[in-house]
Amino acid sequence: MNLPPYKTKMVEPIGLVSRAERIKKLKRAGYNLFFLNSEDVYIDLLTDSGTGAMSENQWAAMMRGDESYAGSSSFRNLQNAVKSILGFPYIIPTHQGRGAEQVFNSVFVKNGMVVPGNAHFDTTRAHIENRGGLPIDCTVSEAYRADFSSPFKGNVDLAKLEKTLKKYKSRVAYILLTVTCNSVGGQPESIKNIKAVSRLAKKYKIGLFFDIARFAENAYFIKAREKKYKNQNIRKIVREMMSYADGALMSAKKDAIVNMGGFIALKNKETYSALAPSAILMEGFLHYGGMSGRDMEALAQGLWEGTDEHYLKHRISQVEYLGENLSKIGIPILKPVGGHAVYIDAGKTLPHIPWNKFPGQALAIAAYIEGGVRSVEIGSVMEGRDQKTHENKKARMELLRLAVPRRVYSQEHLDYVISIFEKIFKIKNRIRGVKFTYEAPMLRHFSSRFTPTP
């Protein structure tokens, strides 16, 4: 039995509105679950971003918040936590990961440049494309085989990466590794692969940066799956991971377990100095960057808690429990189960719905109607349109993501989710695809509206 390494100190009531009400509210939301009111959702698995439960120590730290515009002690506390845990001496706070991406790409991505790496997530890709750049996916091929279980499906295909570096040469802006890799199921990257990518980056004199929204979960998988590291401390593994990068961008709303916040962490002063003017312009002064002092205090404390091995063991086993039990009732999932979410293969679950009728979105709608469970499509809706042809891009996999918030739900809540998908699986042939009634021009999954197809 894997007991939670914490106890409940505060509760928030939740309630299940009737099925008839859920259908009415879904129609009003244009069949886009982002537009549902939170009180109309029973179990919210839309995202693990900013939805975790903060600890008593994080709440206490917020009371120490120094709200000075410049030179605050809260900034220094955050700076010290980043340096101690990640090893980077320079930090630029941002209001969240998206702010870090905007600042970073506004400086380093010019029109016609490319950014290779493992599968870029939606906002990352959008920020690169918004600057006229091209994200190139160099993830290993097994990442796109849902049934194939491999320990490090977030790894980069080294041959493909080197081919990309040779082909584009001076047009490569930087290399980006996302650890864990959200777009392929929260799958980790091994240190062996990170080291190899670092060698290629040095060989071609290109900067290597990490997206570290879920770096602690990646470190836990390294300890569990990479033989050399099985007896190592999580924080020691984290420091080694980061030692191969020139810097990192973080949405702290994930592994630092805060509701808002992010940063850019850097190894050298030259890169810091290049980014600083844009950071001041876009986010705020370099000692707060869109965060209050209390937010920075909670973030600093969250970095320590998020890298605690007992917490990580329970966190990852909880997600694993959900995935394994969905698989037992016949729901096809992406294997192995990732760190922050279970990814249901919606294409295989609903084979009667073609990709351009968006089976992932259809399954998300069904989960809400049947049980008030909110989730998100990771498939051809999120993939968007080709920048040149403007045709819908077909995703490699049509997935539905069930992202589990940190320290929020109990096993009973997860059992309820499993029961809802068991019910859906029995009536899956009745589920219809969807089409757009309004299609947003960018990051369309957030704000488009749909209607079921006949």
56-306 folds as Aspartate Aminotransferase; domain 2 (3.40.640)
Active site residue 209: no
Q: What is the DSSP letter of 96?
A: S
Active site residue 343: no
CA dihedral 159, 161, 167, 173 (to 10 degrees): -170
Comparing 19-48+309-452 with 56-306, is the CATH topology the same? no
Active site residue 393: no
**b/e per residue, 135-168, with b = 16+ CB within 10 A?**
bbbbbbeebbebeeeeebbbbbbeebbbebbeeb
Active site residue 213: yes
Residue 317 has a pLDDT of 97
With the C-alpha atoms ordered 76, 77, 79, 84, is the resulting torsion angle positive or negative?
positive
What is the value of pTM for the model shown? 0.96
The rounded distance, in Å, linking the Cα atoms of 406 and 315 is: 7
Q: How far is CA 71 from CA 287, 301, 347, 348, 374, in A?
A: 6, 19, 52, 54, 42
Q: What SS3 state is found at 434? A: strand
Amino acid at 235: R
Q: What is the DSSP letter of 8?
A: -
- Phi-psi sector, 41: left (phi>0), alpha (psi -120 to 50), beta: beta
Which residues, in sequence order, are CB contacts of 412 under 8 Å at separation 6+?
Answer: none
Active site residue 48: no
Which tokens sit at 93? 């706070």
Options 81, 100, 173, 213, the catalytic residue: 213
CB neighbour class for 241 (10 Å; exposed up to 12, middle 13-18, buried from 19): buried
Which tokens sit at 89? 């001496």
Options 48, 66, 122, 137, the catalytic residue: 122
Residue 155 has a pLDDT of 98
Residue 105 has a pLDDT of 98
Alpha helices in 92-214 (DSSP H): 97-108, 122-130, 158-168, 191-203
Nearest Cα neighbor of 207 from 233, 160, 245 is 245
The rounded distance, in Å, linking the Cα atoms of 344 and 149 is: 15
Active site residue 122: yes
Which tokens sit at 10? 């505060």
Would you list the domain boundaries of the chain? 19-48+309-452, 56-306
Active site residue 246: no
Backbone angles phi, psi at 381, to 5 degrees: -65, -50
CB neighbour class for 130 (10 Å; exposed up to 12, middle 13-18, buried from 19): middle
Which tokens sit at 257? 């377990």
Say yes or no: domain 19-48+309-452 is CATH 2.40.50.140.
Answer: no
Options 127, 223, 254, 340, the catalytic residue: 254
Residue 386 has a pLDDT of 85
Give me the average pLDDT of each 10-residue run along the chain (454 residues): 90 97 98 98 98 98 98 98 98 97 98 97 93 97 94 98 97 98 95 98 98 98 97 98 98 98 98 98 97 98 98 97 98 97 98 97 98 97 89 95 98 98 97 97 94 94
The rounded distance, in Å, linking the Cα atoms of 265 and 314 is: 28
